[in-house]
A and B are shown apart, each in its own frame.
Chain A
């Protein structure tokens, strides 16, 4: 009798432990992007003052890395966008020879689009980051029978960042890779006239 009592006592006890542990585990994993104090955006913002246009990050060297596993052969820059201030244009010319890559991230760092100079059309990368309303008003103003002049990227969130990577094939080419990063123009477009 006492054994059965103890058995029935321990089952709800362990069930409660596993139930709570499961919920805590799932919630803590899902909440990590929201609560982690040192995520990519925080590091980027801390590394360089927030401003308009592309911000070049200091070259990776021991003790001065902004992010782990940074490639010291790559010049890095970033632009922050906020679609509540209008659509955001990112443009750069491509020389067809040197590697330059753009990736588009939400605030939490998730990639929603990426491209490299290999997939650029007509020697340039020309992207407009838009929300649904801005896309609609752009399309309303499109001339008939003409392809859109730029790539329109529907952003899943209104705040995010664009990361620019340019590869220096040799260490002494880092300055020219940095020049390719800073030649990227990022700017909010004024609110669309309608």
Chain B
């Protein structure tokens, strides 16, 4: 009788532990196959037919439909170049090279992937509309208060995520082409 109770107790702890591990792994993004470039992370296999069970589980929970590998790829940044979390308490400058692609878009969302309401109705920039300097380079100011030039509004004092989507990306078909890709830098400016 005692052995039976102990067995049942062990099974209950096991069930709780197993569910806790599942929850913890699914909260951590798409798991395997992440490609990092500076502050940006991409999961190239999420849009491929050989997607792993963890990524499938994450997608079915969030409802996100990722870009297919043949169409492009998405990079997500939750922190700046120094590794500090992106926050609406600070100003940032996003500038530099973007991996080769036909188009790119830069979108600001909250940590759950929702757009952030703002008076300017500006939620994203595309490669076609971003204002560029004479040498074709660009910089986008990400800040809660209005800026001249390319301004992507963030929500004051709230964490946010920057999503860089590359459409018809040259390297998206093979994950190895993304390793060490030159991605835009995210430099933190004034906080306060």
Q: Which residues of A contact B (CB under 8 A)?
A: 9, 12-14, 16-25, 28-30, 32-33, 36, 38-40, 42-43, 60-63, 65-74, 99, 101, 103, 105, 108-112, 114-116, 118-119, 163, 165, 167-171
Contacts and interface: CB of A to CB of B under 8 A. Distances in A.
Contact of A25 (B11, B18, B64, B112): B18
B64 A40 contact: yes
A2 B63 CA distance: 55
Interface of B: 6-7, 10-11, 13-15, 17-19, 21-22, 25-26, 47-49, 51, 53-54, 56-57, 59-72, 74, 76, 102-103, 105, 107, 109, 112-117, 123-124, 126-129, 163, 165, 167-168
Given A17-B10, A24-B18, 17 more contacts: A22-B18, A24-B14, A39-B60, A40-B60, A65-B115, A68-B112, A68-B114, A69-B107, A101-B71, A109-B59, A109-B65, A111-B68, A116-B71, A116-B168, A169-B126, A170-B129, A171-B129
A29 B53 contact: yes
Question: Do most interface residues of chain A lie in helix, strand or loop, or is the interface mixed?
Answer: mixed
B168 A99 contact: yes
Contact of A63 (B13, B117, B128): B117
Contact of A167 (B26, B70, B167): B167
Contacts of B117: 62-63
Contact of B70 (A108, A115, A168): A115
B14 A68 contact: no
A21 B56 contact: no
A62 B116 contact: yes
A40 B10 contact: no
Nearest to A28: B22
16 contacts: A16-B11, A17-B10, A18-B14, A28-B19, A32-B56, A38-B61, A40-B60, A40-B64, A62-B123, A67-B65, A103-B68, A111-B69, A114-B68, A165-B71, A167-B167, A171-B129
B48 to A, nearest CB: 7
A30 B21 CA distance: 13
A150 B62 CA distance: 34
Given A61-B115, A71-B107, A169 B129 contact: yes
Cβ-closest 8 pairs across A and B = A20-B14, A68-B113, A24-B18, A114-B68, A169-B128, A32-B57, A16-B10, A21-B17
A108 B59 CA distance: 9
Contacts of A63: 114, 117
Contacts of B123: 60-62, 72
Given A24-B19, A73-B126, A165-B71, A108 B60 contact: yes
Given A21-B21, A39-B59, A105 B65 contact: yes
A122 B128 CA distance: 26
A24 B11 CA distance: 10
Given A38-B63, A69-B113, A72-B123, A167 B18 contact: no
Contacts of A39: 59-61, 63
A142 B22 CA distance: 50
B15 A114 contact: no
Contacts of B49: 110-112
B126 A68 contact: no
B167 A33 contact: no
A32 to B, nearest CB: 4
Contacts of A61: 115, 123
Given A24-B18, A28-B18, A118-B168, A40 B68 contact: no
Nearest to B9: A13
